[in-house]
Structure 1
Amino acid sequence: YGNPLGVFSDARLIHVDTSVVPPLKPFLTADMNSDDQPTPLYPVYAWIPVPGATVYEVELCSQPPENPNGTTSSRYRIWEKKGPGYDIYDDIARIQPGTYYWRVRGFDEEDNPLGVYSDAGKFTVDWNRGNYAACFGDSITHGGGAISYSPADPAYSFETYLNFPVVNLGRSGDTTETMNERFTAEVLPFQPRYLIILGGTNSIRGGVTGQQVVRELTALREQCIEHNIRPVFLTLPPINPEAIFRA
């Protein structure tokens, strides 16, 4: 690794306009209901960063924030989470029906607010949107691409390319064991006719035997049948044990 391969690309000129005032607030890029898609059960909030910010805080509200372009939290705040980068994964299943509002602000290295809150985005949770089909699984179902893209980008979620309505019930990091654990609370409220299941990759990566994964997938099948849901199992993608060991 590390040996040069080929030569540098041709150079391109970059123009920098120093008269442009840097933005005071992040610009939201995640649209939970893009193309009239149902909101994923575990939303991912994403934005374009602002210069100088090292940490960001996402605020989720039950009503539109009463103080737009401010620096103080809203009285309607129901959840918040801080993190670096340009996206934050919600660690709570947003299963309660209704409309939610979210916004983000940056902080500097000393944890001081930098600029103001972004404009608020919103998304709606509707159990009826999952009545036909739901997708259930780990990060492959949740969406996103390796390293660079999160589930906030619908282009990297296979649900985007299905030609029938589906709600995304995926949760990054899930195993077949945790999928069984959350089935009742997070699948049954949507009452899907079909449940598209893709799970087991993280189980095998964590050392669980193939036989145990099959047993846990069988348990999911039994739960589906018990509740008049037709399970549709997807084949696991190939797993490279040597690459897992190196990681």
Structure 2
Amino acid sequence: MNQERPQLIRPGFFSVNAAADRRRNEFDFHNEALLYHDRSIDSVFFGDSITHWWDLATFFENSPRTIVNRGIGGDTTTHARQRFAADVLQLRPRHVIIMIGINNTWALDAFSPEDRLTSEEIYQQVTSDVEGMIQAALEQAICPVVCSLLPTRMDRYALNHRRNELVVRINQSFKTMAAGSGAIYVDYHSHLVDPDGITLREGLADDGLHPHVLGYGIMAKVLCETLAAQGIDLTT
């Protein structure tokens, strides 16, 4: 065990309303503890609320490996990329499980016109940020595992069909990106989608966005099977 406090990377706070700030103090304290105790970390799950709310200790309870959750509800790729050094790189995990980008798509139908973005603008934003995170991980010899965004089923949003079409396009880019960089791509989308190819299947999320226990069960199975095919076992 170290006798002095480690030099800690802290991204600081982004703004009064930034989602990424909501767990900043918690993560800084936890990151410091992991570094101080020189813990060997197998996987960091990194993302937004879908990662934040995933009870990893239960779904991967048989795993002897150290798994760390660094999801923040409401986070976007912009702030995720800025906190990546603090919440992933400095922890030196073997793998980082990245799933981020759905919150960027709220800009399609933002209340204020000045906050709205086109599908193309959001696509460029998400893919550029995720590509940057992949490259940063690879430079530190961390294996990046890039996960597809999930389909949604939120009929209360007028542009939800367009959102789901954008999700498909982003996922195609993630898959290509992973293949070209040596990262691993995890396709949750095809296991959760309706026959129409873009809408979340009924019965997997109460709000049409966040998977409940059945949705997470499918995701855990897909993740483990995909990693096992690459010789990576999260459960033993």
Q: Which has the larger radius of gyration?
A: 1
Does TM, normalized by the shorter one, top 0.5? no
> What TM-score do the two structures reach when normalised by structure 2?
0.45
